[in-house]
Structure 1
């Protein structure tokens, strides 16, 4: 029996035909850098969602953070509780539109890097809050 636990994995550390631990670490570091770069690009990206035929536009970044709400002049009277309730519904609908686009952008940017892990832009897992 040997004292080297890596021999069970096909050889010794770094040896000829052995387990390349250094190469694995370098690959992990490279993937981490790519992931961080993609996350920064998403934080800087802007996506618009609309509702009510363009009456309300909501802008979010690539990770879904709200940046702006724009209401087209003359589209909402605001003089009644019903008008204000409708406005609230339009803002929510526009946000959901923008968030869906941001999620799609994040999935395409991070999906290959995250390996589908929840919270890193991969496909939603059971029990996730995506789409709520």
Structure 2
């Protein structure tokens, strides 16, 4: 028996730990880069013909809300309730777009991981909207 148990795996068809670690480091760098690009990207969700527009970044973080002037009377409780509902709807629209963007950006990176990180190998492991916290 050799001193290093991994020596037995060497040779033809053996496990190259250095290559595996290098590949993992490259994937980590690509993932960080993709997450940085997502944080800089923005998408808009709009409802009621543009009466309310919500902007989120690619990670789903709310970065802006615009309410078109003259659309709501701030003294009417029903109008304010409707405004709240529209903001929520616009956010959901924008968040769905951000999730799709994240799936496009991260899917190829996470897809190669398969079931090794707890995902279903049939659907690409962790790939897909919302699975990496986006």
Residue among 35, 60, 67 paired with 2:63: 67
CA RMSD in angstroms, aligned pairs only? 2.6
The answer on whether the counterparts of 2:60 and 2:98 sit within 8 Å (CA) in structure 1 is yes
TM-score normalized by structure 2?
Answer: 0.79
**Which of the numbers 34, 51, 54 marks the counterpart of 1:55?**
51
Query: Where in structure 2 are there 5+ consecutive unaligned residues?
Result: 120-125
Match among 102, 122, 125 for residue 128 of structure 2:
122
Q: From the two aligned structures, give the one with the greater helix fraction.
A: 2
Distance 1:66 1:79, change over 3 A: same
Runs of 4+ in 1 over 3 A off after TM superposition: 1-4, 115-118
Length-normalised TM-score, structure 1:
0.80
Partner of 1:5: 5
- How many residue pairs match? The answer is 123
Map of 2:109 onto structure 1 = 113
**8 Å Cα contact 2:108-2:127 kept in structure 1:** no
| Contact kept? 2:44, 2:53, Cα under 8 Å | yes
Greater mean alpha carbon deviation, residues 86-95 or residues 68-77: 68-77
| Structure-1 residue corresponding to 2:75 | 79
Take 1:38 and 1:30, find their aligned partners in 2: how far apart are those partners? 12
* Residue equivalent to 1:89: 85
